[in-house]
Chain A
Amino acid sequence: MAQLIKDGALCENSWVRVTPEDAEGIPANGDIIVSLSCWLEQKEALKNHNGKVAVCLKPGQEPAELAGDLADLPMIAIDFPVFADGRGYSYARELRTRYGYQGEIRAVGDVLQDQLFYMWRCGFNAFDIRADKDASEALKGLNDFTVTYQADARDPRPIYRRQPE
Chain B
Amino acid sequence: MYVYQDYDQRLLDERVAQFRDQTQRYLDGKLAEEEYRPLRLQNGLYVQRYAPMLRVAVPYGMMASAQLRMLAHICRTWDKGYCHVSTRQNIQFNWPELQDVPDILEALASVQMHAIQTSGNCIRNTTTDEFAGVNAKEIDDPRPWCELIRQWSTFNPEFAYLPRKFKIAVNAVPDEDPALIGVHDIGVQIVENGQDETGFQIWAGGGLGRTPMTGEVIGEFIEPKYLLAYLEAVLRVYNKYGIRDNKYKARIKIIVKAMGRDKFRELTEREFAELKDGPITLTEHEIERMRASFPAPAYSSLTDLPQALSQALSSDKAFSRWYHTNTRAHKQAGYRAVTLTLKKTGRVPGDITDEQLDVVADLADRYSFGEVRTTHQQNMVLADVRQDELFDLWQALESMGLATPNLKLLTDIVACPGGDYCSLANAKSIPIAEAIQHRFEDMDYLHDLGELDINISGCMNACGHHHIGHIGILGVDKKGREYYQITLGGRGDKVSRIGDKMGPSFESDEVADVVEKIVNLYVELRHDGELFIDTYERVGMEPFKERIYGPAN
Residues on A facing B (Cβ under 8 Å): 59, 62, 83-87, 89-90, 93, 97-98, 112, 114-115, 117-119, 121-122, 137, 144-152, 156-161, 165
B541 contacts the other chain (CB 8 A): no
Which residues of chain B are near A85, meaning CB under 8 Å?
A: 161, 244
Which residues of chain B are near A93, meaning CB under 8 Å?
A: 158
Q: How far is the CB of B17 from chain A (nearest CB, A)?
A: 8
Q: How far is the CB of B164 from chain A (nearest CB, A)?
A: 11
A86-B159 in contact (CB<8A): yes
A156-B239 in contact (CB<8A): no
Known contacts A86-B159, A89-B239, A114-B22; decide if A165 and B14 are in contact (CB<8 Å): no
Query: What's the Cα separation between A89 and B121 when bound, in Å?
Result: 14
Query: What's the Cα separation between A137 and B522 when bound, in Å?
Result: 65
B520 contacts the other chain (CB 8 A): no
Interface string of B143-159 (1 = CB under 8 A from A): 00000000110111111
Known contacts A62-B240, A84-B121; decide if A117 and B7 are in contact (CB<8 Å): no
Interface string of B11-22 (1 = CB under 8 A from A): 100110010001
B157-A118 in contact (CB<8A): yes
Query: What's the Cα separation between A93 and B30 when bound, in Å?
Result: 30
Which residues of chain A are near B10, meaning CB under 8 Å?
A: 146-147
A87-B239 in contact (CB<8A): yes
Residue among A122, A148, A156, A160 making CB contact with B283, cutoff 8 Å: A160
Q: How far is the CB of B302 from chain A (nearest CB, A)?
A: 37
Q: How far is the CB of B539 from chain A (nearest CB, A)?
A: 48
Which residues of chain A are near B262, meaning CB under 8 Å?
A: none
Which residues of chain A are near B528, meaning CB under 8 Å?
A: none
What's the dominant secondary structure at chain A's contact region?
Answer: loop
Taking CB as reference atom, which chain A residue is nearest B239? A90
Which residues of chain A are near B285, meaning CB under 8 Å?
A: 160, 165
Query: What's the Cα separation between A97 and B22 when bound, in Å?
Result: 31
B279-A157 in contact (CB<8A): yes
B286 contacts the other chain (CB 8 A): yes
Known: A145-B11, A145-B15. 14 other contacts (CB 8 A): A83-B38, A86-B158, A86-B161, A87-B240, A114-B39, A118-B157, A121-B157, A147-B8, A147-B14, A149-B154, A150-B152, A158-B228, A160-B282, A165-B285
> Of A89, A121, A160, which is in contact with the most chain B CB atoms at under 10 Å from its CB?
A160
Residue among A59, A98, A117, A147 making CB contact with B157, cutoff 8 Å: A117
Query: What's the Cα separation between A150 and B158 when bound, in Å?
Result: 10
Known contacts A112-B35, A159-B151; decide if A151 and B22 are in contact (CB<8 Å): no
